[in-house]
Amino acid sequence: MTPGAAAWQALRAVDDGRTICRRVRWAGSFGGRFVGLMGRSTLADDEGLYLPGTNGVHMFFMRFPIDCLFLSRPAPDGTQRVVGVRSRLMPWRGVVWRVPGAAGVVELPSGTLANSSIQHGDIVRFDSAG
């Protein structure tokens, strides 16, 4: 998927097709990546935010904990490898300075990574929401 694609995309594991998040929005602009989830009071259970071109995150000005799934650059077939996972990053305290090999991060509701059993090395793909 590219920033000009559909407003929502699902994120799925390639090996078994399990859905990690049903509605992922892209923050493709500098401003969108800079603001991210700041100012929001919550994130729905099936909602995420993808920050392409990002290899680190901070939790300053955040109001709720999140999980982060760090992804490699997309392969020619659109798949991406999970190069890092960070669970339960707490507001104002969580910082991930840099994840080697990361070319984007999906910010997810806290607990999503544990519930989906996604882990480092897995292959994922964005596709049509639904």
Structural contact between residues 28 and 5, judged by C-beta atoms closer than 8 angstroms: no
Per-residue pLDDT reduced to its tens digit, 8-55 = 899 999 999 999 999 898 776 555 544 555 565 667 688 898 988 888
Query: Model-level pTM?
Result: 0.84
- Choose among 77, 31, 78, 37: nearest CA to 57: 37
- For the stretch 79-117, pLDDT in tens is 999 999 998 988 887 777 889 999 999 999 989 999 999
Domain boundaries, the chain: 9-101+108-128
What is the tens place of the pLDDT at every residue in 66-82? 899 999 999 999 999 99
Counts for the chain of helices (H) and strands (E), in that order: 2, 9
Query: Cα–Cα distances in Å, from 61 out to 48, 57, 93, 129?
Result: 18, 12, 10, 29
Q: Kindly indicate whether the domain formed by 9-101+108-128 is annotated with CATH number 2.60.120.1140.
A: yes
